[in-house]
């Protein structure tokens, strides 16, 4: 869902850094991250707010364009 023109425009507007992790090799670093997010399996979609004192925004497994844009705008505050 992140591959929509509307989401891409918001990512650019808010100067968001997108990071994608691949757990093909079963690495401990990624397993620790999704355990920290209280998920047992992938996908785990997190949006980290600009304010580092705020917790990550846990996204649903099935993303919609509107959910992503709303979370991005909330994280930018």
Residue 41: which domain range?
Answer: 5-76
User: pLDDT confidence of 56, banded at 50, 70, 90?
Assistant: confident
Bond from prior residue into 43 cis (ω within 30 degrees of 0): yes
The mean-pLDDT minimum among 1-15, 16-30, 49-63 falls in: 16-30
Among 18-22, 51-55, 56-60, the least confident range? 18-22
Q: Supply the pLDDT for residue 6.
A: 96
Residue 33 to residue 14: CA distance in whole angstroms: 24
Summarised one tens digit per residue, pLDDT across range 11-50 is: 999 999 898 877 788 778 877 777 777 877 778 888 999 9
Split into its structural domains, the chain has a count of 1
- The pLDDT score that the predictor gives to residue 76 is 95
């Amino acid at each position: 869902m992140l591959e929509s023109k509307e989401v891409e425009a918001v990512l650019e507007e808010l100067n968001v850094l997108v990071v994608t992790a691949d757990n093909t090799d079963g690495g401990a670093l990624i397993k620790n991250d999704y355990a920290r997010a209280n998920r047992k399996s992938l996908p785990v979609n997190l949006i980290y707010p600009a304010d580092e004192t705020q917790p990550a925004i846990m996204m649903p497994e099935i993303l919609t364009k509107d959910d992503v844009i709303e979370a991005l705008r909330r994280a930018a505050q």
